[in-house]
Structure 1
Amino acid sequence: MNAMTRRILAGTAAVSAALSLAACGSGDGTGSSSGGNKTIGLLLPEKSSSTRYESFDKPLIEASVTALCTKCVVDYANADGDEAAQKEQFDALLAKGVKVILLDPVNSQSTASWVTDATKKGVKVIAYDRLAAGNVAAYISFDNERTGELQGQALVDALGEKAGNANVVMINGAETDPNAGMFKKGAHQVLDEKVKKVIYEQSGEWKPDTAAQKMNEAISHFGKSGIQAVYSANDGMAGSIIASLKQAGINVPVGGQDASLDAIRRILSGDQTYTIYKPYKPEADAAATMAVYLVKGLDITSVASAMTESNGLQIPSMLLSPVVVTQKTVASTVIAGGLYKAAEVCADQYAQACKEAGITVG
């Protein structure tokens, strides 16, 4: 086991153990809310543009809540990118009398009035993964500016000695998502200093089709030889960007984020250069712990590891560390960390690529 593997596994275990012990120590029958509704609302934003929410966040949060509070249940809905649908889901939870809502907003800028309405009803809102506007009770995410820095540096590393003369295309996430702005800021801090120029920059809105359209526009404008690398804010968009580049006969480094299974396979086959692995279990454990604390009427500052400033407010937070995944580190990151099994990654046509990357199946 190498140093990177130890850091990931130790970090995940430390966060999970600390939070689990804290929550379990409170018992199911304590706190001012012990006699009330123990339903925790969970509202996630996407299905089509990112597989992570249905595949990882939802089941992990549900399992963690159950482990921490046997009398708690999770009421789940996914807006699939529809802000109006998410508002209806939020209002439905309020009408059911839930006391805590974990909210990953479709449009973070529009949630202040939602949070105000919830507060008036005595409902606590926890911003999950994206920082929602308003006086939320807590915030759980990864260090998103650091994520952008890692993305930018991974692209520079892939370019090597060509970086100083490289023209880069940037396809960012949705402008309504504050995380996208932080990814962009962090990436620019690296790219603006280390590449020749960011020649084209647009929002892909977290939509693969939109990202492909923007990439085709850049190819049309700058030609086959005018682009040396592409920054994609996530893996879903990276897949469509790579398809556009291949169709145009262009082979340049392309990076993403989320460590989706298809992206890991693209990395192994050489089509995608890197992704960002954000271990979902510690994030889900942190969210579940804070939600259970609030359901029980307990003080969450004892389990918060940071404070996040938002419009003059200081919000108790848990901010976790992301990890870069390249062809050389697939085994020591997403496989060693338990995100995927080697047999799952290396199925069918990816068996040889896994063998060349030193990944052992079975």
Structure 2
Amino acid sequence: MRFARASKIALGAAVAAAVVAACSVPGDDAAGSNKTVTDGPVKIGFSQATQQSPFYVALTDAAEAEAQAQGNEFFHADANGDVTKQNNDVQDLITRGVNVLVINPVDPKGVTPSLAAAQAAGVKVITVDRPVDKGAASFVGRDNKAMGELVGKAAADALGPTGGKIIQIQGDAGGAVARDRREGFLAGVSAQPGITVVDGPYCDYTRSKAVTAMQDLLQANPDLKAVYAQNDDMALGALQVLTENHRADVKVFGVDGLMEAVRAIASGDQYIATALNDPNAEGRLAIQTAVKVARGESVPEFVDAGTNLVNKSNAQSLQGESTFAAGE
């Protein structure tokens, strides 16, 4: 297990989970109340679900940079997709005396022991990217249904009244993000009754798994008209297979605003659209919210990091050197 802090010194573990509701609440009434920091730096513990995704790597880096910029202490650990490890990490962070926890839960239900431990220790909790049912002062993230629906509407427009078959490459089985992006996309394409969406396998948001899956999907579905992947990394894997098989007729849609996808949208006619999901903005907002909570300030129970559709009309203007595109 590895901890990192703003000073780059190795330490030893990380965080647990958080909640969502609908109104503003005092920062000290949802996840402990005796660690309020009235002056001086805040000790922030950050438990990341995994570092196997470019999105989560960028989110962690942005969170650490924001903590450094504010002069606060930052400790983080990578749960590596293991909820048991995440619960152990959170307990270790609490032992280190953090004032507030920022958690991206591997499993929103599985981190309940961490939330209980934080509450008992008087340590405030927020979640980032993935919410929990209860136990956190705030959730910082995006409306993944809205993101999926934006892309679904773009797919409906691109295929038109004739419709056709769309293969959906999914994220993680049982994950709230995957569920919401699926439901949003289905709502978006519903305006075109000629469209049929076929669920493909779960590829855990990784390109290599999507490449393998797409090879089989293309062979089994030669009549497909489009591919929708629940993140751009998987969509780019699908695009790779389509290119290798000379299937320029199949349109591609993703989510997240990965810069590689934005460039593909700007320069070609096959990758049609994605939805912005800037991890840098989300990481900064998570730390800003955590600091407010640690100081006993009121914060919204949902802090929306925002999104927008990326298509041919704006992709050129969104290009840059960052890993993910930022909002206009």
Normalising by structure 2, report the TM-score: 0.78
Aligned-residue Cα RMSD (Å) equals 2.8
Equivalent residue in structure 2 for 1:182, among 180, 183, 187: 180
Q: Does 1:79 align with 2:79?
A: yes
1:287-309 Cα offsets, whole Å, 9 max, x none, are: 2222112222x1323xx2xxxxx
- 1:37, distance to aligned residue in structure 2 (A): 8.0
- 1:136, distance to aligned residue in structure 2 (A): 1.4
Partner of 2:43: 39
Partner of 1:202: 201
Quick check: 1:238–1:256 contact (8 Å CA) kept in 2? yes
Query: Which amino acid in the other structure matches residue 64 of structure 2?
Result: E
Query: Which amino acid in the other structure matches residue 81 of structure 1?
Result: G
Partner of 1:171: 169
Instruction: Name structure 2 gaps, 5 residues minimum.
Output: 1-26, 28-34
Quick check: 1:168–1:228 contact (8 Å CA) kept in 2? yes
Partner of 2:233: 236
Task: Give the Cα–Cα distance (whole angstroms) in 2 for the partners of residues 83 and 206 of structure 1.
Answer: 18
Stretch of structure 1 that moved more, 176-185 or 79-88? 79-88
Count of residues in correspondence between the two structures:
289
- 1:111, distance to aligned residue in structure 2 (A): 1.5
Partner of 1:115: 115
More relative contact order in 1 or in 2 (CA 8 Å, sep 6+)? 2
Task: Give the Cα–Cα distance (whole angstroms) in 1 for the partners of residues 317 and 41 of structure 2.
Answer: 42
Task: Give the Cα–Cα distance (whole angstroms) in 2 for the partners of residues 255 and 126 of structure 1.
Answer: 31
Change (3 A) 1:51 1:250: same
- 1:63, distance to aligned residue in structure 2 (A): 3.2
- 1:334, distance to aligned residue in structure 2 (A): 4.9
Query: Which amino acid in the other structure matches residue 304 of structure 2?
Result: L
- 1:331, distance to aligned residue in structure 2 (A): 3.2
Change (3 A) 1:62 1:151: same
Task: Give the Cα–Cα distance (whole angstroms) in 2 for the partners of residues 133 and 211 of structure 1.
Answer: 30
Task: Give the Cα–Cα distance (whole angstroms) in 2 for the partners of residues 132 and 36 of structure 1.
Answer: 30
Quick check: 2:258–2:323 contact (8 Å CA) kept in 1? no
Task: Give the Cα–Cα distance (whole angstroms) in 1 for the partners of residues 189 and 324 of structure 2.
Answer: 34
1:192-226 Cα offsets, whole Å, 9 max, x none, are: 33242113443222232332333233222222xx1
Query: Which amino acid in the other structure matches residue 156 of structure 2?
Result: V
Stretch of structure 1 that moved more, 263-272 or 128-137? 263-272
Quick check: 1:334–1:340 contact (8 Å CA) kept in 2? no
Change (3 A) 1:133 1:90: farther
Structure 1 segment 299-338 matched on structure 2, within 5 A: 299-301=297-299, 304=300, 316-335=301-320
Quick check: 1:108–1:176 contact (8 Å CA) kept in 2? no
Change (3 A) 1:86 1:215: same
Partner of 2:56: 53
- 1:102, distance to aligned residue in structure 2 (A): 0.7
Partner of 1:137: 137
SS at structure 2 position matched to 1:132:
coil
Structure 1 segment 338-349 matched on structure 2, within 5 A: 339=322
Equivalent residue in structure 1 for 2:244, among 244, 247, 251: 247
Partner of 2:211: 212
Query: Which amino acid in the other structure matches residue 65 of structure 1?
Result: A
SS at structure 2 position matched to 1:110:
coil
SS at structure 2 position matched to 1:274:
strand
Task: Give the Cα–Cα distance (whole angstroms) in 2 for the partners of residues 103 and 37 of structure 1.
Answer: 19
Normalising by structure 1, report the TM-score: 0.71
- 1:281, distance to aligned residue in structure 2 (A): 4.6
Task: Give the Cα–Cα distance (whole angstroms) in 1 for the partners of residues 113 and 162 of structure 2.
Answer: 46
- 1:177, distance to aligned residue in structure 2 (A): 2.3
Partner of 1:93: 93
Change (3 A) 1:90 1:188: same
Quick check: 1:112–1:133 contact (8 Å CA) kept in 2? no
SS at structure 2 position matched to 1:139:
strand
Instruction: Name structure 1 gaps, 5 residues minimum.
Output: 1-22, 24-30, 305-315, 343-362
SS at structure 2 position matched to 1:198:
strand
Quick check: 1:171–1:204 contact (8 Å CA) kept in 2? yes
SS at structure 1 position matched to 2:224:
coil
Quick check: 2:206–2:233 contact (8 Å CA) kept in 1? yes
Task: Give the Cα–Cα distance (whole angstroms) in 2 for the partners of residues 150 and 242 of structure 1.
Answer: 20
Task: Give the Cα–Cα distance (whole angstroms) in 2 for the partners of residues 131 and 37 of structure 1.
Answer: 26
Q: What is the aligned-residue identity percentage?
A: 24
Partner of 2:104: 104
